């Protein structure tokens, strides 16, 4: 079994999703969003995100973490604000000594929906189906779950290639 945490960082809401891969089965463990009050200052918001993510890591003990890599910001100002939240998310994972892998939005969509240009609603619905959730998670939690699923599927494929590769190059004769 491997357990992955996906994070969707944002200044107002940072989504998180924890998913297990047991054999070939994806199992939902937890998901949600860390909301920050709109009247809070930027440093206060960042501390809320930091403490919230440390709490999620402490509570669910993921082994690995996935986060979306490239962001199409509307402008430099919103990229700066998103970057601040993202920096704090990366920091909390690093301080917890967990490996972190970045995925492009296209990789995430490809892994979850099988189509790199899928709409947000399609991703949300596929996440719900893959994890057999009774109803779709909120948008931030759903995006985070999608990153966790992408991470688990990508590392499963990589492991299979590694193992098959190892089997192929194993020298003949008695072990």
* Interacting residue ranges for a copy of itself, rule: CB under 8 A: 41-44, 46-47, 50, 71-73, 75-77, 79-88, 90-91, 93-95, 100
d(CA 111, CA 100): 17
Give least dist CB 72 to a copy of itself, A: 8
**Angle CA(96)–CA(102)–CA(105) in degrees, nearest 5?**
135
Residue 129 in tokens: 């189906």
Specify whether 55 is catalytic: no
Give least dist CB 155 to a copy of itself, A: 17
Specify whether 68 is catalytic: yes
Specify whether 140 is catalytic: yes
For a copy of itself, the closer of residues 24 and 72 by Cβ is 72
Give least dist CB 174 to a copy of itself, A: 42
For a copy of itself, the closer of residues 105 and 112 by Cβ is 105
d(CA 141, CA 156): 22
User: Pick the catalytic residue: 20, 64, 140, 143?
Assistant: 140
For a copy of itself, the closer of residues 20 and 64 by Cβ is 64
**Angle CA(28)–CA(32)–CA(37) in degrees, nearest 5?**
175
d(CA 104, CA 84): 19
Task: Look at residue 29 and give its three-state secondary structure.
Answer: strand
User: Pick the catalytic residue: 8, 20, 64, 143?
Assistant: 8
Give least dist CB 127 to a copy of itself, A: 25
d(CA 101, CA 85): 17
Residues with catalytic roles: 8, 68, 140
């Amino acid at each position: 079994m491997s357990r992955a945490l996906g994070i969707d960082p944002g200044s107002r809401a940072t989504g998180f999703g924890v998913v297990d891969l047991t054999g070939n089965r994806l199992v939902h463990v937890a998901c949600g969003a860390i909301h920050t009050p709109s009247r809070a200052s930027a440093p206060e918001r960042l501390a809320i995100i930091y403490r919230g993510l440390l709490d999620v890591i402490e509570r669910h003990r993921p082994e690995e973490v996935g986060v979306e890599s490239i962001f199409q910001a509307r402008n430099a100002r919103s990229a700066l604000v998103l970057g601040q939240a993202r920096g704090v998310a990366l920091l909390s994972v690093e301080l917890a000594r967990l490996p972190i892998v970045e995925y492009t939005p296209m990789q995430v969509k490809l892994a979850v929906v099988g189509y790199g240009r899928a709409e947000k609603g399609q991703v949300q619905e596929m996440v719900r189906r893959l994890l057999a959730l009774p109803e779709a998670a909120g948008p931030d939690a759903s995006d985070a779950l999608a990153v966790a699923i992408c991470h688990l599927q990508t590392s499963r494929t990589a492991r299979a290639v590694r193992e098959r590769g190892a089997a192929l190059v194993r020298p003949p004769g008695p072990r």
